[in-house]
Chain A
């Protein structure tokens, strides 16, 4: 117990030390978080009227962000599969980074749901036994269960691996292999359940298409790994963790295949709606071409389409995939493209036109944007804190001393070009 306490104290010392870049980054995030918190206070005291949501479009920017981030969380862990299949070095590092990203994305998801609900003070109604969780009837109840399970699962795995390393012990494979294997279907399940949440509503034809869940998974496999590719480059540049080019290029190749599936499924959906041309085509018409002079979403979805197709081509052609300039352009394009397509492009057209044919054009207010920015900052803050502890552990710069109690901290220069770091203390 004392050992764990010492470890915890060590992590506190660790997060308070770092380079100038680290402090600047964290301080900027804190400022954004403070702005977000102030905005939330404003929303709490005035009600959700300060958003652009109304009865016609009852879910908006918050739930869009939530949906997108569930995908990021799922995909970060799904990267573990190719890491195992292709025996990438360093598998363990990739797994830990992915799981911590999943944890941070989950934190953001839960925050986005919290700021969206009208009575956050009644959150305890969702707890089984204490409240009245409508399980298994409500898909939202399912989502509460799987998202929290997933959060805990990833936290446990990541903390376990790190703590073992810190103690200079090998993680017990009988414990963590099954956990990691379980986290894979869990990742699939959070995304499937979230898709079903929309999918199950017969009142909303845009969502009530069986292709929705597969599309969710395919697009998640694009956005999550695109973020990881950029992250891998940053991490290997500014810390001692080495990630081979080969692994990065392979991830990019996998993104290309997923994006192909995503575009194919989307094409199947577009064909069915426009060719059969029933009244159910209206939401898609609204999204892609505008409906009766209402076309707020049209520029966004075409931006997403162009970004996604461009990124697909960049990742498909080996020359552009293995050139870091075009690779990173592709990653940015895909992240934004999927953010639009799986966010606002999915949630809003489901509600426009509404069930009685009314068209209410939704565009987020400043409150929604600032509050969302605050939540993104919180997610990045959490992720940076987690990495701040995990990376020195993985690079043997934070470990338990020879007395088996006091931690040894070597790394005090978090976020500094790896070439200029002090000599390694690797034993």
Chain B
């Protein structure tokens, strides 16, 4: 839900800034021995919520982050804040009859989205299920590890963020650090999240992940094409999640998500739910589709289907 602009008057902003400056002086004096570093640290400490940034403030923030990441990863890192496209609502289809459980999507996602390698953070969890039991999560095998997949008598069900229409995770956030964008993508402001992990308790799909330690992201593997709300490097102590590769899908021309692109069997479909000609609409209208945990009324935009 967008915040009304009138929430804070100009006068209030001024007094708030003054107060924050005072606090900054004290905190800075206590915590920061190096003078040069401190300016950047202050700026990031007192950065406003993403949706409260004015265009010029946004530019400053993006520039600051680009500089910071470029220095850290020793390459030119781009941080964009591309807004949603008009008339687009993203939807995802996953063909359970095709998926072979190879987990290529898992690792393509890690590479594209700059997740921590140590400890490992995966946005996609592929569950191995028994054909005889059907979708029975209690019996799912998360850590299957045979020489070759698929294994006889089993099928595979990848689970990632379902980008719910009524997301239980955003509702519970005490500081509005996570929200649903106009194009249906649920995002996190990593600079605003306080790391309370209430959203993780609220998510019925295990889609949210926490940076329990400083993310281990090797320079060489870092993807420098980033989005503020997506795959830019994450700080310690905040929650992150799948954003349908926001840095790719919002570009013009848009690109498929990394998981769709890598899938060797074409089990993954992605497109605009508002476009009657899109592939995802075709799937929904012509295939046997179901959503996970329908009874929770989260209305996912992630549809499982059987094409064959």
Q: Which residues of B contact A54 (CB under 8 A)?
A: 212
A55 contacts B206, C-beta separation under 8 Å: yes
Known: A118-B210, A122-B195. 18 other contacts (CB 8 A): A47-B212, A54-B212, A55-B210, A116-B196, A117-B197, A118-B194, A118-B195, A119-B193, A119-B237, A123-B194, A129-B16, A132-B3, A137-B171, A140-B174, A201-B172, A201-B202, A356-B205, A357-B127
What 5 pairs across the A-B complex have the smallest Cβ distances?
Answer: A118-B195, A118-B237, A203-B204, A357-B137, A47-B213
Mind listing 5 A-B residue pairs with CB under 8 Å? A59-B201, A125-B192, A131-B175, A138-B198, A282-B138
- A113-136: which have CB < 8 Å to B? 113, 116-126, 129-134
Q: Which residues of B contact A134 (CB under 8 A)?
A: 173-176
CB B203 to nearest CB in A, in angstroms, measures 6
B177 contacts A125, C-beta separation under 8 Å: yes
CB B192 to nearest CB in A, in angstroms, measures 6
- A160-215: which have CB < 8 Å to B? 197-198, 200-204
Q: Decide yes or no: A139 and B172 within 8 Å by CB, A117-B194, A202-B296, A357-B139 being known contacts.
A: yes
CB B62 to nearest CB in A, in angstroms, measures 20
B200 contacts A58, C-beta separation under 8 Å: yes
Interface assignment of B282: CB less than 8 Å from any CB of chain A: no
Q: Which residues of A contact B296 (CB under 8 A)?
A: 202-203
A144 contacts B174, C-beta separation under 8 Å: yes
CB B53 to nearest CB in A, in angstroms, measures 13
Q: Interface on B for A, CB 8 Å cutoff?
A: 3, 8, 12, 16, 19-20, 23, 45, 49, 52, 119, 125, 127, 136-140, 142, 159, 168, 171-177, 192-198, 200-206, 208-214, 235-239, 296-297
Interface assignment of A353: CB less than 8 Å from any CB of chain B: yes
B212 contacts A355, C-beta separation under 8 Å: no
- The contact of A201 among B16, B175, B201, B209, by CB within 8 Å, is B201
| A122 (CB) vs chain B CBs: closest residue | B194
* A118 CA / B192 CA spacing, docked (Å): 11
* A220 CA / B268 CA spacing, docked (Å): 50
Interface assignment of A276: CB less than 8 Å from any CB of chain B: no
Q: Which residues of A contact B168 (CB under 8 A)?
A: 201-203
* A204 CA / B168 CA spacing, docked (Å): 12
A55 contacts B209, C-beta separation under 8 Å: yes
| A141 (CB) vs chain B CBs: closest residue | B174
CB B8 to nearest CB in A, in angstroms, measures 7
Interface assignment of A79: CB less than 8 Å from any CB of chain B: no
Q: Which residues of A contact B198 (CB under 8 A)?
A: 138, 140, 197
Instruction: Count contacts on A: residues with CB < 8 A to the other chain.
Output: 52
| A354 (CB) vs chain B CBs: closest residue | B206
B173 contacts A356, C-beta separation under 8 Å: no
Q: Interface on A for B, CB 8 Å cutoff?
A: 46-49, 51, 53-56, 58-59, 113, 116-126, 129-134, 137-141, 144, 197-198, 200-204, 279, 282, 350-351, 353-358
**Residue of B125, B136, B194, B239 most packed against chain A (CB within 10 A):** B194
Q: Decide yes or no: A47 and B214 within 8 Å by CB, A203-B202, A282-B138 being known contacts.
A: yes
B12 contacts A58, C-beta separation under 8 Å: no
A interface: dominant SS: loop
**Residue of B140, B175, B237 most packed against chain A (CB within 10 A):** B175
* A350 CA / B204 CA spacing, docked (Å): 12
CB B117 to nearest CB in A, in angstroms, measures 14
CB A335 to nearest CB in B, in angstroms, measures 27
Q: Which residues of A contact B127 (CB under 8 A)?
A: 356-357
Number of A-B contacts (CB under 8 A): 152
* A47 CA / B138 CA spacing, docked (Å): 31
* A49 CA / B214 CA spacing, docked (Å): 9
A279 contacts B194, C-beta separation under 8 Å: no
- The contact of A138 among B142, B173, B238, by CB within 8 Å, is B173
Q: Which residues of B contact A124 (CB under 8 A)?
A: 23
| B142 (CB) vs chain A CBs: closest residue | A358
| A55 (CB) vs chain B CBs: closest residue | B209
Q: Decide yes or no: A49 and B119 within 8 Å by CB, A119-B237, A130-B16, A357-B140 being known contacts.
A: yes
* A116 CA / B195 CA spacing, docked (Å): 8
* A120 CA / B204 CA spacing, docked (Å): 26
Q: Decide yes or no: A351 and B209 within 8 Å by CB, A122-B194, A140-B172, A356-B125 being known contacts.
A: no
- The contact of B194 among A53, A119, A354, by CB within 8 Å, is A119
* A131 CA / B3 CA spacing, docked (Å): 13
B203 contacts A355, C-beta separation under 8 Å: yes
- The contact of B204 among A125, A138, A355, by CB within 8 Å, is A355
* A103 CA / B194 CA spacing, docked (Å): 25
B195 contacts A119, C-beta separation under 8 Å: yes
A48 contacts B212, C-beta separation under 8 Å: yes
Q: Decide yes or no: A204 and B194 within 8 Å by CB, A118-B236, A139-B172, A282-B138 being known contacts.
A: no
CB B261 to nearest CB in A, in angstroms, measures 25
CB B74 to nearest CB in A, in angstroms, measures 24
B201 contacts A47, C-beta separation under 8 Å: no
A119 contacts B213, C-beta separation under 8 Å: no
Q: Which residues of B contact A197 (CB under 8 A)?
A: 198
A59 contacts B197, C-beta separation under 8 Å: yes
* A56 CA / B205 CA spacing, docked (Å): 11
Q: Which residues of B contact A198 (CB under 8 A)?
A: 201
* A204 CA / B8 CA spacing, docked (Å): 37
CB A337 to nearest CB in B, in angstroms, measures 25
Q: Which residues of B contact A133 (CB under 8 A)?
A: 174-175
CB B1 to nearest CB in A, in angstroms, measures 9
CB B81 to nearest CB in A, in angstroms, measures 18
* A48 CA / B236 CA spacing, docked (Å): 9
CB B213 to nearest CB in A, in angstroms, measures 4
* A53 CA / B214 CA spacing, docked (Å): 15
* A387 CA / B139 CA spacing, docked (Å): 55
* A117 CA / B297 CA spacing, docked (Å): 29
CB A204 to nearest CB in B, in angstroms, measures 6
| B129 (CB) vs chain A CBs: closest residue | A357
CB B135 to nearest CB in A, in angstroms, measures 10
A118 contacts B211, C-beta separation under 8 Å: yes
* A49 CA / B212 CA spacing, docked (Å): 5
CB A137 to nearest CB in B, in angstroms, measures 5
- The contact of B201 among A113, A119, A350, by CB within 8 Å, is A350
| B16 (CB) vs chain A CBs: closest residue | A130
B173 contacts A58, C-beta separation under 8 Å: no
Q: Which residues of A contact B205 (CB under 8 A)?
A: 355-356
* A163 CA / B199 CA spacing, docked (Å): 44
